Structure 1
Amino acid sequence: MLVPEDILVPEDRPVADGRPLTVADALRLPVLAAGEPRVVAGQARLGRPVRWVHITELTDPASFLKGGELVLTTGMPLPEEPARIRRYVGELADVGAAALVIELVRRYHRPPEALVRACRARGLPLVTLSRDVNFLEVTQVVHTLLLGHRTEALRRSRRIHEAFTALTLRGAGPEDVVRAAAELSGRTVVLEDPAHRALICVPSGGTVEEALTGWERDSRATPPGDRTAVRGPGNWLVAPVEFRGERWGRVVLLPAPGAAAFTAEHVTVLERTAMTLAVTRLAHPVPWERDAHRGVLRDITGRRHRSPGEIRVRAAALGLPVEGCRFVAVQVDPGGGAAARETAGPTAVAREDAGRAAEARLVEELATAGAPALVGEPAPGRVGVLLALRPGQPPWRATVERLARAALRFDPYTVVALGSPVDDLAEAARSFREAARAAEAVPPGSGPPAADPDRSFHELADIGLRRLLYAMREDTRVRDYAERTLGRLADHDLRHRTELLPALRHYLDAGGNKTVAARRGGLSRQTLYQRLHAVERLLGCDLDSGEQRTGLHVALMAYDVLRPG
């Protein structure tokens, strides 16, 4: 004898929660729960949506159905023969009926075994009612709920369309669009490019690390399509982002563990997301890949990632090798970099344009060199490059030199600086800090490092005292020291048209050798002696003191840095 698969226990909970009304929801309604519903077949399919309720006492009810109906019957018209019962169930299953509910009050007191077997074979939920139920009341309650659901669905659909229309009108970027999709759908949303690189990921109910781990592998296993559909082994809801045959990528809604299947509302959100992204791309043709690289680099330099694992999967999802690699940062400051930003020369817009142009040039150079890297602007007008150093690849310093020469060909005032390699991507911020410190110590147009004239980039090891003072030129303590130490001498030269400051410079540069200093300054020794005595008198110092000479030399270097030319 067949036994029931399960007993449905009624629960007092609302069903108008934005989901479609399912068979399980309908059986929990008091009007049906009063009949003590018992599921005897198709327990796994109680999540089917109910589109309508149909009461029938016909032997061929399928001809009046369109799919999704909850079919109610007293069992009176059921045939006796197992073959006809199988045909009855088969027709209901073929038309897509949501479930068959039979009342065990009049003709039957337990369901026929042939009916149970047929429903189990076709996967059609079969529910029995052991108490009398008013089918008309069931119809009225369920239809009222369905109409309410449809009204709510229309209202929510209108909100979705209004939200994306507002994003389009205000020129929102792709990250804003994807974030809105995640908020409206309650699911994690990912925008990827045609090369299966995850450009933007906004998690919902999970983490970026969970969503993007193994992204390229899973994405390649998910076939492309021309319309929004659930695809691939991961059951992703996928929509293409394209315009007139040009495909820029696709946007993905990821299923949430334990959550219901995707609904029509999810499809609406995803399709509007894809449409808005296409409009965004047309209005702002900057490749999304550049924005994605820029975002990851800014999070690396600002240490804004939640965990080392998160930044690793984000970088890997953009195509950067992360396994068995070391990483090194390069900073490229076009047009003089920090020095240009301090002057009234290039405007902010011009600096940003220069940065974007340098970024494009570096991307092309890296592609030609076959060097894997992230390239972007961690700050306006400043380009950052994060190189992945793989074992066995050509010497990475040669790649940096190639980048530096390309940048200098584009703009001879560009400053290219290098950080030291790190073993962990999460520590790349340190390499970027070192590159920034080296860059800020290099005056624009100053040429190659003194230690290696054949090299076009700069490192921390190249920073001597003069460059250190240049890097600290905005520090008021340096300014005060230079002015306090040499200000009276400079004022005297200006008022009396003397040349005491140049004489002191020649003396200090000669290491205190007065003969060499006189020759370098084109002076007689007597004249040099007189000027040096005047310096001692004005400054109240002793030039025979090594410590005081060192202090004066540092002040003179700072003075030169603060008053270039």
Structure 2
Amino acid sequence: MPPTLGALLRTPSLRLRLLTGQDRTHRQVEWVAVSELGDPTPYLAGGELVLTTGVRWVDRLPDLRAYVRRLAERDVAGIGFGVAVNFDDTPEELREAAEEFGVALVEVGRQTPFMAVGKEVSRLLAKEEYEGLTRAFTAQRELTRAALTGSSAVVDRLARELGGWVLLLSPDGAPWHAAPAGAAARAPRLAAELTRLRGAGPRASVSVASAGDRVSVQPLTTGGRARGYLAVGGVRVSGSDDRTLVNAAVSLLSLELERSAPGRGSKFRSGVLSALLDGALDPLHPGAADLRAVLPAEPVVVAVAERADPDTPLPEGVLVARHEGRTVLLAAAGTEESVFGEVLLGPVGLSSPGGYPDLAAARSQAERAMAAAAEQDEALQRFDQLPGGLLGLLANPAGARLADDLLAPIDEQRAAPELLASLRAYLAASGRWDAAAEQLGVHRHTLRYRMRRIRELLPGDLDDPDHRTELWIALRVREARSGQQGRS
């Protein structure tokens, strides 16, 4: 959370002196705003410490009561007045108005630049953010360790970290575990919300008021099915650290329910992969050694297909999950290609080998390869066999048609092979005649004649960089297609 006004007052280097608002030092300072405007409120969001030297007050003292009232209505954290700049002392009218409207008034000495106050607030904000991240990492590590003991330990640990109560509910709403134990009595009051969640889909969540408390309820989903629910109350889960912690608990509990479900022969099957794809689990975190023990060793590959064969047993070290409408498979990079065809049905896209930090990119690669496999009517397509970059986006039937349309005037000529080769060499050499002619093994005058003929055939202007780019891409797309036909 942001630093308090009291924390700034206790910073010796700032030498700040509180004039009014002794009961307001608990106020959080969201930011420092330096303003000499008569009415700075249009530029304030609330929670700022407003600093001024009163430079516009020198000739005529304004209505300081109205000035302070506007700032009080804007809910500023306080007013800081810089003395010994335009005024030797803080104006008495400003002090009286601050007293009247309950605004903290701080005197800033001449030796303290306003920038120093702003820097201190920034430093305290950064320190708080770092400490929050450290607490979050520590808490997630403790949750992961608790998961080795079972779901009850995860619930107990989450309740301890949040300082509230936590309920683990069965799919029909019965309390499986409560922390503290008395929280189990809240389960019947959540029955209606669970009915709403079942109708909203496996990824929906809800936040409701129950018995004067704000309660968050989330489904514990694996394989597209809710295997239970997690309810958290007695605390406002609003900060990113708290939300991250709850999301991690949801993933860990989902994994545990998946592991303990009847008929599951492999620990952490689809649940762990879903959590990895969602970013809820970090296998490289120092506290995730036990998780890494059940994951394929790096480098890994991701395969994507529309669905999987439910009757095919999964080989050891292979994880499969239904994720965002498609079936995703994770395996070690050395896995036999036949495994993907046995487990997955339909066109399969396979990513390049990589590490766990690149899992999102690997999934994107696999989806792109799957689309190419479907278009080319292939059982499996590897991403590293696709043309890279923007050319890869055009290496499909639609791109091939565009390339053919663009090059059609040349294709119709008897000397089409020589003209196309000359055009490619000319574009590759950026229009340098000697370099292009040398690459082709012809005299530069021969190349000039061919390029003149090409200019006459093509509707565009070869001096236009856009047209030259289109021609280059068309040639490259055609080459990629020829290469794929040659491999088949």
Bin for the TM-score computed over the shorter chain: 0.3 to 0.5
Scaled by the length of structure 1, what TM-score is found? 0.35
Scaled by the length of structure 2, what TM-score is found? 0.39
